[in-house]
Amino acid sequence: MSSNDYTIKEAIAEAKRCLHCKVPACKKGCPISNDIPDWIAELAKGNFGNALQIINGRSNLPAVCGRVCAHEKQCEGNCVLGKKGEHINIGKLERFIADFDSATRMTPVMIPQKGRGKIAVIGSGPAGLTIAGDLSRQGFSVEIFEMESEPGGVLMYGIPEYRLPKDVVRTEIKKIEKLGVRFHLNTVVGENLTIDDLFAQGFDAIFMGTGTGVPNRLDIPGLNHQGVRQAIRFLRRVSLYENGNISREEVIVGDGDKVFVVGCGNTGIDAARTALRMGSSEVTVVYHKDMEQMSALKSEYEEALSEGVRFLWNTEIVRIEAENDEKLKSIILNINGEVKELPADHIVMAIGSAPAARIVSTTKGIDVDEKGYVLTRENPYGMTTRKGVFAGGDVTNRPATVVHAMRDAKNVAEGIARYVDAVRLIETINSETVSHE
Ligand code: SF4
């Protein structure tokens, strides 16, 4: 337990402050419509197991949401008590409930009967885990195919340890596994096997929750020098190093280095704060617009600022210089119209990412837009142009937050359930008609 966590007494006292509003604004502010006042009421009575079961009705990842959601913009930002500056600390309470359950394992796990159909889920980030948890609870047999050696996707390899400890992610995934979900790790769909192979194995529907793994590129001179790296790859390397999978040298950003991060979304801030933690002496975030237009959360920005990260607003990157075309030397910036050359050891690009084409290039009939995002339909929600293949989360919607990927996946889970039920019903009717003939 960290000093930032509630004790039982503190959590109950905080829960007792809730007014149980008739029209709860907190719930409206939550992208997945978490039944916040209901579980807070159970928490206030000390019924932690009931509280978790209510949360699980909407979320398979409460320990994650309790840590990384933008509560200030969502539930807490809407709580009526916030008008007096005293909103209920909903995120911290959600985290308390999830962590209490993990520590005590008091909540019984109900493993649902699996007879409704067989679903393959590709990718085990927030979208894939949500689909797996929701459909498994509804009686579907779910198998997840994950390219990495550990499940979790961006939760495991993207969001840094200081914001989301990996053991918290592992515990949440174990709970999903206990619902009967099977994991196939180190398995790359599009390389080791294809969508058609999965259908041949008898899956009724397939979900693509593969996210956006290909970094966007700027067209500037010097981008191919050593010392220029992509934020998502840098964060992945740090995660692998922290898990003991690679050596410190392979992280590359070292002690005393001067680091520039280009881009000011949450990934940019994560990369900047991680570079500091890896011992960099100076970390500067470069953003081509002003502060009001950054997509990073204000709270994340403020944390970064307090840790010593510098920010250059209205600043364009002009080119990158290296010594003998090898070791990086400097970054040339246009800062508010003035061109300056600043010494740099590493430049981390955090200007967004797009989907990989691995699956769509090995599967007939899955259409994408001009940027590679998978096209889906409204009915059944989330189905691609290939029958029985669904997609959701960042691979269809462009990169968004964890909870927005979860929201989309919840809707796709409903679409998959309706589709599989309908197909199976038609098959049953057809087989009965044949046997009566
Ligand atoms: Fe409780 Fe605030 Fe939600 Fe009202 S808006 S039900 S006070 S958490």
| Pair 221, 319: CB distance under 8 Å | yes
Please state, in angstroms and as integers, the Cα–Cα distance from residue 3 to each residue in 6, 7, 92, 104, 226, following that order.
8, 9, 12, 19, 41
Which atom of ligand 1 lies nearest, measured to the CA of 87? 2
List the one residue out of 321, 325, 312 whose CA is nearest residue 343: 321
Residuewise pLDDT in 10s, the chain (437 residues):
555 789 999 999 999 999 999 999 999 999 999 999 999 999 999 999 999 999 999 999 999 999 999 999 999 999 999 998 899 999 999 999 999 999 987 666 777 788 899 999 999 999 999 999 999 999 999 999 999 999 999 999 999 999 999 999 999 999 999 999 999 999 999 998 999 999 999 999 999 999 998 999 888 998 888 889 999 999 999 999 999 999 999 998 888 999 999 999 999 999 999 999 999 999 999 999 999 999 998 889 999 999 999 999 999 999 999 987 678 999 999 999 999 999 999 999 999 999 999 999 999 999 999 999 999 999 999 999 999 999 999 999 876 789 999 999 999 999 999 999 999 999 888 887 776 66
Helix axes 36-44, 8-16, angle to 10 degrees: 130
Mutate which of 14, 16, 17, 18 for ligand 1 pocket (most atoms within 8 A of beta carbon): 18
In tens, the pLDDT along 322-333 reads 987 678 999 999
Residues lining ligand 1, Cβ inside 6 A: 18-21, 24-26, 36-37, 79-81, 88, 90
φ and ψ of 16, to 5 deg: -70, -15
Q: In what helix (H) or strand (E) does residue 121 lie, and over which residues does it extend?
A: strand 118-122
How crowded is residue 37: how many other Cβ atoms within 10 Å of its Cβ?
19
Please state, in angstroms and as integers, the Cα–Cα distance from residue 191 to each residue in 37, 147, 345, 362, following that order.
46, 10, 36, 8
Q: Which two tokens stand for residue 76?
A: 């807490």
List the one residue out of 157, 224, 204 whose CA is nearest residue 185: 157
For atom 2 of ligand 1, which residue has the closest CA? Answer: 79
pLDDT recorded at residue 3: 53
Label residue 33 exposed, middle or buried (CB < 10 Å: 0-12, 13-18, 19+): middle
Which atom of ligand 1 lies nearest, measured to the CA of 20? 6
Which atom of ligand 1 lies nearest, measured to the CA of 27? 3
How crowded is residue 290: how many other Cβ atoms within 10 Å of its Cβ?
10
